[in-house]
Amino acid sequence: MITRKKLGFELSEDEIMEFVNGAAHGSVPDYQLSAMLMAIWFKGMTDLETTRLTMAMARSGDIMDLSSIPGIKVDKHSTGGVGDTTTLILAPLVAACGVPVAKISGRGLGHTGGTLDKLESIHGMSVSLTREDFFRQINRIGLAVVGQTSTLAPADKTLYALRDVTSTVDSLPLIASSIMSKKLASGADAIVLDVKTGSGAMMRTLDSAIELARIMVQIGEMAGKPVVALVTNMDQPLGTHVGNALEVKDALDVLSGRSGGDLLEVSLALGSQMLVLADRAKTEKEGRKILTEMLTSGRGLDKFREMISAQGGDPAVCDDPCRLPQAPVRREVRCTGEGYVKIMNTSALGLAAQAMGAGRILKTDVLDYSVGFVMHARIGMHMQKGDLLCTLHARSEGDAATAERAIRNAVVFSEEPVRVPPLCYAVVTRDGIRRTD
């Protein structure tokens, strides 16, 4: 099989199944799995092969059956970014619209944040529910956000660990199959994808992000699941807050109507697609209108409060975000010159938060939920000497000083006006690619 893929031949369904089962059950040694991954990296895969790989990985463990939950269940997945707190906003908004949200999320690793880590910054919040409690909660309040079990797509866990150490992470078929296998195993009826592109994304170029979106939509269609993908900007943090408790506060500010901006806009764009796929709205415009009503009426925030309470957390944070963990050191970082914000190295910003304790270098690292920073600058903004660039929330003055140096190095200014980048570049469906920039 390795030889056939190395020579560029298409692998059969049985061959791919043998490869995936070997990864899931340990019957194929790591050095052969690694050789196969490298052959796939060099030679690629056809859409049919990628779909076969995805389905085999999804079937390597349990597949959740959500049929006992009434209605069309729509899942959402982001390929990862910095300050991306959309799940905490759109999940309660969509659930408040009467569409059940059975969400299985992940943890952060590297410069990207994880939804589960953000939720666990709320005192008492549990993201580990038994299957019975998971179903019971969704049927009762229409919303649950929990972690992935070890029996969900176990082959992906083995292959992803090998990809990480064999420099084969950046393979479109391997990325697509990793994401979609877990989404398909999660049992949703339809899927909305947020594919990030830019300096803080896995896919740095727009063309590669659109191609990844196209492949994942194609996999969903071939697996019988309607999928819509939005290709969105990650050339700067999506929200203004970076860090676990800070990002929960950002989401609460949006849900309570205290703030809006890019984070709200992307949340509404993704949420409206979820409502269309769930037959709750006929068009994206109608879906946005319904979501906005849930926002302005406070029903979205009420639904988030319900979920927090149901999962053992402190619902009072919805009314008093100061109940979230607070860092002992706060430092204002001000501009030393004048100009327009031209570039933000978003990966570097994410790594600065990670170094402060907001993210993991190793999976066993213990997070400090309180640390991070609030970015007051946005690309295209004109800033003068003394203007507030960001506010640091740190464990110590030393950590604050290190973060300040990293953030200053990550932000580049220009004397000339700078064009504000679009939030969404394209919408990808089974009917094709619609550019929106």
CATH label of the domain that carries residue 8 = 1.20.970.10
**Where residue 126 sits, what CATH number does that domain have?**
3.40.1030.10
Regarding beta strands 241-242 and 339-344, do their DSSP bridges make them parallel or antiparallel, or are they unpaired? unpaired
SS3 of residue 73 by DSSP: coil
Of 5, 59, 111, 163, which is the active-site residue? 163
- Among 60, 105, 177, 178, the one annotated catalytic: 178
Tell me if residue 163 is catalytic: yes
76 is catalytic: no
Residues 183 and 155 in one domain: yes
Strand order in the sheet with 388-394: 241-242, 372-375, 388-394, 329-334
The answer to whether residues 199 and 241 belong to one domain is yes
| pLDDT the model gives residue 308 | 98
Residue 261 pLDDT: 93
- Render pLDDT for 244-255 as a digit per residue (tens, 0 to 9): 999 999 999 999
Check if the beta carbon of residue 277 is closer than 8 Å to that of residue 408: no
Tens of pLDDT, residue by residue over 294-346, are 999 999 999 999 999 999 999 999 999 999 999 999 999 999 999 999 999 99
- Statement to judge: residues 365 and 428 lie in one domain: no
The pLDDT value recorded for residue 380 is 97
- Residue-wise burial string across 284-295, b where 16 or more C-beta atoms lie within 10 A, e elsewhere: beebbebbbebb
The answer to whether residue 437 sits within a structural domain is no
- The pLDDT of residue 16 is above 90: yes
State whether 397 and 340 are in the same domain.
yes
The mean of the pLDDT values for the chain is 94
Judge whether 123 lies within some domain: yes
Provide the domain count of the chain. Answer: 3
Active site residue: 107, 157, 182, 214, which one?
Answer: 182
Residue range of the domain that includes 24: 2-58
Is pLDDT of 240 > 90?
Answer: yes
Please tell me the predicted confidence (pLDDT) of residue 363: 65
Mean per-residue pLDDT for 248-277? 96
Q: What is the pLDDT of residue 110?
A: 62
Residue in 156, 194, 250, 368 annotated catalytic:
156
User: Are residues 155 and 34 both part of a single domain?
Assistant: no
Catalytic choice (5, 52, 59, 77): 77
Scanning 44-171, the segments in alpha helix (DSSP H) are 47-58, 86-96, 115-120, 131-141, 154-165
Is the per-residue pLDDT at 111 higher than 70?
A: no
In this predicted structure, what is the pLDDT of residue 359?
87
Res. 164 pLDDT band, cuts 50 70 90: confident
On whether residue 64 sits in a domain, the answer given is no
The yes-or-no answer on residue 178 being catalytic is yes
